[in-house]
Structure 1
């Protein structure tokens, strides 16, 4: 079997939140502090050289370690550099997300077209469905693609990649084991967990959040959808927002926007873009 020449593109913030919500902060922290634990099995299924390794992160982001401490993503930079990654800072450019997905798409296309060395395989670590066009473009250029994403990733995303590795499998490389006797599954949060994720998303926001954007971010972080979870068991979006902390929805196109109560007296200048 010939040796594959591979490139790895890691959307750090996205993968870390997926692991945190699916397996817990202990395994998310292990992913960030010891990348060799998951990188070795990721590359070991066949002969390959990972010629290009890039990790895209927001240095100002933070992870709750489960013991009350918040660890800045910048603290994990050296672990990834020690594993051979180039770390690319992607601070927030919009109010809710950084530009990692756009940077990855541009860099992957540049790498594919580079005359310096032909890359046979592109490995993307992200649960973001925005990468479907990139995956399709790489396939059309006769490149093999591997996607590490949430185990419940949609059929359209799954069909765009040659191989999909679930975050549950990656978490297993880190030592996570599902409590099968309790019916526990990766990324299948209960209602309280979903409420907590919705609360986190809205507290991180700096402007009102478009309802479809809220649903997409919930899906990216947990694998659950607003309607599919019956709005975290509350029965309606408004009931969910009330239970999550008294957030308020204002009507508008696409379901409107969600506001934090403190914005009602001094509303932000503009709503979060759809």
Structure 2
């Protein structure tokens, strides 16, 4: 019999996956029922997508795969998970209010894994439930990597405690097979890595690089990242998959060189380093009034101006007729339409708005007027503020509604609160 490899010689990062089935399933159902079905019936597909690494050395071996579900409601999905190599733990409702025992079972198993002989290096928790914040804190204290897979609104403290977060829209893309990236490009790290002191030599210029460099060098100042990304994608549509292997737009810009700099601040900026620096970026205070700045800092609502939000809803009203039910194509189309209208908005910001509309119960399946979309989104923002325990006076509430709705509700005072 072949002797097993010593632990240090086994390929891949030793990882553990803990899935709060009920939480993820209900979250995905509100966002994309088709993706929800794939999550429940084909866990092997998306687990392998998250396990794949770069050049093999960063791939993951899920030594532990646990799924916690309520057997009274979701027992029909058990065979799919056991067949995919998951250990399924029944967590029936133990109270009259329907609260299951998932939290305590998941935490106990995770703590056992943390202190186990396998020395798990990275913990994945598939749940948007902020009750797991303390668990993630324990992982960090033990110097273990943590990744949260969210299928719903994520509390700020929970998000910040994790090393990386697979956002709802990115998880939906993985489930729908429209994201070929590994976890390195799907998960969103807490900080954008700074470019190395010695920048790499530029590669042979592609059409997208030539377009970017020419555009930035002729600009009168730093340019919004969304506008630069739109021009690059127009010049080279193949970059849409994973930005030439860089995964993210910012990482792609950082490796170009040629005195082009990038900052993720305020939704992203690109500039000619020979003429400008980070000090030339617009001051946040001039872009964001006090109430917006507070909300953005606490709730993760995109840092958009009122005019940008207004354009998102106007573009969404138009594009919903062309891409009903297709979240991936819809977000691209809305992003491109906003750029064309002179109000550049990143695709991540558009996805955040679409996600919020889903939580507000808006079916993105047909034509909806912009004011109706703005009203639903504003309700979602108000709910995010409520969950974050933010309190406002009447004047601040009015300012919130005017900003979040892009001014589309100004003719209907208090409409968002109805």
- Fold in common (TM above 0.5): yes
Structure 2, unmatched stretches of 5+, are: 1-8, 177-326, 336-349, 364-379, 387-400, 402-413
SS for the counterpart of 2:143 is coil
More RCO (CA 8 Å, sep 6+): 1
The match for 1:52 among 41, 45, 64 is 64
| C-alpha distance 226-76 of structure 1, shift in aligned 2 (>3 A) | same
CA distance in 2, matches of 1:8, 1:108: 9
Match of 2:13 in 1: 4
Give the drift of 1:43: 0.9
The match for 2:113 among 111, 114, 117 is 111
8 Å Cα contact 1:21-1:189 kept in structure 2: no
Match of 1:218 in 2: none
CA distance in 2, matches of 1:166, 1:131: 16
Give the drift of 1:26: 1.7
Structure with the largest fraction of helix: 2
| C-alpha distance 224-15 of structure 1, shift in aligned 2 (>3 A) | farther
After superposition, the C-alpha distances for 1:88-117 in whole angstroms (9 at most, x for unaligned) are 011112213212122111110111112x32
| C-alpha distance 86-234 of structure 1, shift in aligned 2 (>3 A) | farther
SS for the counterpart of 1:75 is helix
CA distance in 2, matches of 1:224, 1:41: 32
8 Å Cα contact 2:78-2:88 kept in structure 1: yes
Deviates more, 1:165-174 or 1:8-17: 165-174
CA distance in 2, matches of 1:150, 1:128: 10
8 Å Cα contact 2:27-2:152 kept in structure 1: no
After superposition, the C-alpha distances for 1:170-221 in whole angstroms (9 at most, x for unaligned) are 11012262512357734222686179xxxxxxxxxxxxxxxxxxxxxxxxxx
Structure with the largest fraction of strand: 1
Q: Tell me the number of residue pairs that the alignment of Structure 1 and Structure 2 aligns.
A: 197
Query: Computing the radius of gyration over CA atoms, which structure comes out larger, 1 or 2?
Result: 2
SS for the counterpart of 2:357 is coil
| C-alpha distance 228-141 of structure 1, shift in aligned 2 (>3 A) | closer
Structure 1, unmatched stretches of 5+, are: 62-72, 196-222, 240-274
CA distance in 2, matches of 1:235, 1:41: 40
